[in-house]
Chain A
Amino acid sequence: MELLVCIKQVPDTSEIKLDPETNNLIRTGLPSIVNPYDMHALEAALSVKDQIPDSRVSVISMGPPQAEEALRQCLARGADDAWLITDRAFGGADTLATSYTIASAIRHVERTMNRTFEMIFCGKQAIDGDTAQVGPQIAEELGIAQATYACEISVDEISRTVLVKREHESGYELMEAPLPLLITATSELNEPRVPSLWHSIAAKRYTIGHITLRDMPHIDESRIGLGGSPTRVRKVYQPPLRGKVDMLSSVEEGSKKILELAYHVKPEKFAHLLVPSDEPVVEAEDYDGVDVSNPVVRAAAVDSVVPKEIRAVQPNTFAAEAAKQSTDAQGGER
């Protein structure tokens, strides 16, 4: 099976800083890594390769020539081929132009190398932009099915279908999709493997092919680069820092603090009620008659909540909610 993984080289956001004047990311001096979710996408492809004999994993990325390093990290883990889409003309692209360019490059590779990618894997989102748009847009552009936020997949080679468990904020969705299929990976999907020696040696010696504008004569130049990007960044700002944090050493202290802050109860007033944590807890009787297993009743018992603000959510509306959210996420601009 022909498998393709789309990866992005991102700055290690644990070390990221914003320029306070221009609001731009300070990219100089930042260590670059492969977007962590893309590593899960790669692992997913490699596991399919392990499962199905004669499979081949190719990796593609778009970015400056330095991004070759990210592709080599994928080769070192067992990918077979790698291409870098790189051209000044592609620079400054938003997610729309990026996904169009990547989709065009995928078509270019399919045409010139005479292969058809049956499964395409992306990370669910990149940790620098966090849009989660490029994967789904590539699928749209290529006109193939997509399964986003995958946390479990199983490929049935004979029926040529894939069973995908998708992660929602409020649960899971199980779906079946035909090949060809684009999958975006969550970190739940798998545990990425570490580089192996022989693959690392091969990666070091591998010549990564570059795909430039000239290689794709059929591309619509009005849809690439800065010119093909309708997105405008209005404002980027740092959220205000959180206030002072008190680290409390014990549960007792924590409970006291909560009572004090939330209900303005002075510690002296309830000192007699506190039970040291090493004493056995006496089962308390249900003194106020509130049925705590029902969230609506429970919420209504709290004084600060106005009853009309409480809305019961029925289990069967979850799916509709989730579907609405996911269309929002795909359609919304950043």
Chain B
Amino acid sequence: MGNDMREIFDVIIVGAGPAGASAAYRLAQQRVKVLVIERGMAPGAKNMMGGRIYTHSLEQLIPDFRERAPLERQVVKERISIASGKEMTTIEYTGSDIPQDEESYVVLRATFDKWLAEEAEQQGALIISNVQVTELIIEGEGKRKRVTGVRCDDDEVYAKMVIIAEGANTVLLEQAGLMESTDPRSMAVGVKEVYKLKKEDIDNRLMLTGNQGMAWLTLGDMTDGLLGGGFIYTNKDSVSVGMVVGLEDIGSAKHSIDDMLGAFTSHPSIAPLLKNGQLKEHSAHLVPEGGYESMPKLGGLGYLIIGDAARMCMNLGYTIRGMDLAIQSGICAAEAINIGLRDENMDKVPKMYEKQVKNCWLGKDLKRYRKMPKFLATHPRVFDTYPEFVNSMMRDVFTVNGNGAESLMKKLWRRVNTVGVFTLIRDAWKGVRSL
């Protein structure tokens, strides 16, 4: 079994997550010789998220994904809750006749990412797991600096283009000096637990049938007033519960993030859902939350950056997106490379990729919500004062105690005064403007 050390690939992709696997899929489809290197035992082994994928970009890549992908449940119910202390105010929306391109599903990353990578493999991509890329190979200096391949310990492999899909923790890019070191203000940490439950119990407790699923986001004081929130997603026969907390102030928080998650799962409005559930998984991961403003240059001579590594993630508080962006960025990168290979001009590929991203919904959406992360980060009232405000107002509205009723207006006004009417208007205005 001779090792041909001089074998050269058209494209090397670092990381077999959804971004890397999508790029590999699209490239292999065009008969491009592509090598994907994944450091996990299998694609998906190192990945984690709350659980929801909006499938419009996946549909572009694999039109019949509904028959093939390991999807847990389709999200038809949305819940948003505002929690303070043991109180909780919830809004629930149940959709119906959701158009195909607006569908979203709950998935488990260990199975979903593995499936997507296998699909890419069937298209002809070579996917190598359990090997870590330790360094990017860079030739030239200054403006002529060019990524020509990757090093995995003692082994080197070269390609015409390297796609870096290393995920949120951008070790390789920072080490190679292709990206500034990550600003903790733009990162969050997510922790998640998966509880196994009977399917009927999940259905009954959340009023779901068949493969209907729920996405439930909560905001409130369970994050100790820090930027963040809790999430619950329904799988087939388990429930994913977790929370995301901004990294910047986590050191000064009163509680550890595990304690926060413990308080969340034992909240009187959450605990009944998890009753008799068996804890199956506990995981944690970095989440890039900086949005558009934190995005690096998307490529340079010999390399492109896609997915979480390029900070393509959107958290608006009521929707959280990452995988659909990752898949779209993989498609854009693959298409730019296909043109470059056809024209035998790889140096124009990074510019073309950047343009592709900017001109499709991916760049436009990221740009539209560019002020949101900053708004959330600089308005901690969103995470403590307002949840308390909302819940106490609801308490007032629904309270009957035989002490004589107050007018509704008076009840509301009293609560508004606790925050300050001008503060409230200013925050509301800024919040709406950032959307």
Name A's B-contacting residues (CB within 8 A): 73, 75-76, 80-81, 194-202, 204, 206
Q: Which residues of A contact B153 (CB under 8 A)?
A: 194, 196-197
B32 part of interface (Cβ distance < 8 Å)? no
Checking A75, A81, A195, A206 against B131 with a beta-carbon cut-off of 8 angstroms, the contacting residue is A195
Is B128 within 8 A of A81, CB to CB?
no
A200/B130 contact (C-beta < 8 A), A80-B1, A81-B1 known: yes
Q: What residues on B are CB-neighbors of A197 within 8 Å?
A: 37, 128, 131, 152-153, 155, 157
As a 0/1 sequence over residues 113 to 151 of chain B, the CB contacts with chain A under 8 angstroms (1 = contact) are 000000000000011111100000000000000000000
**Alpha-carbon distance A75/B1, docked complex (angstroms):** 10
Q: Using a CB-CB cutoff of 8 Å, which residues 396-429 of chain B contact chain A?
A: none
What are 19 inter-chain pairs, A to B, with CB distance below 8 A?
A: A194-B130, A194-B153, A195-B130, A196-B154, A196-B155, A197-B37, A197-B128, A197-B152, A197-B153, A197-B155, A198-B3, A198-B157, A201-B3, A201-B7, A201-B35, A202-B3, A204-B126, A204-B127, A204-B128
Q: How far is the CA of A204 from the CA of B126 in the complex (A)?
A: 8
Nearest-CB residue, chain A, relative to B153: A196
CA A204 – CA B36 in complex, angstroms? 12
Q: What would 20 more interface pairs be, CB under 8 Å, given A194-B130, A196-B153, A206-B1?
A: A194-B153, A195-B130, A196-B131, A196-B154, A196-B155, A197-B128, A197-B152, A197-B155, A198-B3, A199-B3, A200-B128, A200-B129, A200-B130, A200-B131, A201-B7, A201-B126, A201-B128, A202-B1, A202-B3, A204-B127
- Is B91 part of the contact surface with A, judged by Cβ < 8 Å? no
- Note all chain B residues with C-beta closer than 8 A to A198: 3, 5, 155, 157
**Given A80-B1, A81-B1, CB of A196 within 8 Å of CB of B152:** yes
Give complex CA distance A270, B37 in Å: 63
- A-B pairs with lowest CB-CB distance, top 7: A197-B155, A197-B152, A198-B3, A200-B128, A197-B131, A198-B155, A80-B1
Residues on B with beta carbons closer than 8 Å to the beta carbon of A201: 3, 7, 35, 126, 128
Please name the residue on chain A nearest to B37 by beta carbon. A197
Q: Which residues of A contact B126 (CB under 8 A)?
A: 201, 204
For the complex, give the distance between the alpha carbons of A206 and B126 in Å. 13
Q: Interface centre among A195, A197, A204, A206, by most B CB within 10 Å? A: A197
C-alpha spacing A206/B128, complex, angstroms: 13
Given A81-B1, A202-B1, are A76 and B154 neighbors across the interface (CB < 8 Å)?
no
Q: How far is the CA of A196 from the CA of B155 in the complex (A)?
A: 7
* Chain B residues, CB < 8 A from A73: 130
Looking across the interface, which residue of chain B has its beta carbon closest to that of A56? B1
In the bound assembly, the distance between CA atoms of A199 and B3 in angstroms comes to 7
How distant is the Cα of A204 from the Cα of B128 in the complex, in angstroms? Answer: 8
Kindly state the separation between the CA atoms of A283 and B74 in the bound complex, as whole angstroms: 72
Chain B residues with CB under 8 A of A204:
126-128
Distance between Cα atoms of A75 and B3 in the complex (Å): 12
Given the known interface contacts A196-B155, A197-B157, the answer about A76 and B130 at a Cβ–Cβ threshold of 8 Å is yes
* Cα A158 to Cα B5 with chains together (Å): 32
Question: Which residue of chain B has its CB nearest to the CB of A201?
Answer: B128
Q: List A contacts of B154 (CB < 8 A).
A: 196
Collect the chain A residues with CB atoms within 8 Å of residue B127's CB.
204
Give the residues in chain A near B152, CB-CB below 8 Å: 196-197
Q: Which residues of B contact A200 (CB under 8 A)?
A: 128-131
CA distance in complex: A206, B1 (Å):
8
Q: Which single residue of chain A is at the shortest CB-CB distance from B2?
A: A202
Q: Can you name the residue of chain B whose Cβ is closest to the Cβ of A77?
A: B130
- Please give me the residue from chain A that is nearest to B133 by CB atom: A197
- B42's nearest neighbour on chain A, judged by CB, is A31
- A206: chain B residues at CB < 8 Å are 1
Shortest Cβ distance from A200 into chain B, in angstroms?
Answer: 5
Q: A197 vs B12: C-alpha distance in the bound complex, in angstroms?
A: 12
A81 surroundings in chain B (CB, below 8 A) = 1
Q: Which residues of B contact A196 (CB under 8 A)?
A: 131, 152-155
Closest to A199 in B: B3
A76 to B37, CA, bound (A): 13
Q: How far is the CA of A73 from the CA of B129 in the complex (A)?
A: 10
- How far, in whole Å, are A80 and B3 apart by their CA atoms in the complex? 10
Cα–Cα, bound, A194→B130 (Å): 8
- Of listed B1, B37, B130, residue having the most chain A CB within 10 A: B1
Q: Which residue of B lies closest to A81 (CB)?
A: B1
| CA–CA, A81 and B2, complex, Å | 11
Chain A contacts for B5, CB-based, 8 A: 198
Chain B residue nearest to A193 in the complex (CB): B153
Please give, as numbers and ranges, the residues of chain B lying within 8 Å of A195 by CB-CB distance: 130-131
**Contacting residues, chain A, for B128 (C-beta < 8 A):** 197, 200-201, 204
CB-CB < 8 A to B1: which residues of A? Answer: 75, 80-81, 202, 206
Provide the residues of chain A in CB contact with B37, threshold 8 Å. 197
**Nearest residue in A to B3 (C-beta to C-beta)?**
A198
Residues of A within 8 A of B129 (CB): 200
Distance, CA A194 to CA B129, complexed state (A):
12
Nearest CB of chain B from residue A81's CB, rounded to whole Å: 7
CA A61 to CA B380, docked complex, whole Å = 60
Q: Which of A81, A199, A206 has the most CB of B within 10 A?
A: A199
Question: How distant is B428 from chain A, measured CB to nearest CB, in Å?
Answer: 50
Minimal beta-carbon separation of A58 from chain B (angstroms):
11
How does the 8 Å CB contact mask read for B9-49 relative to A, with 1 for contact and 0 for none?
A: 00000000000000000000000000101000000000000
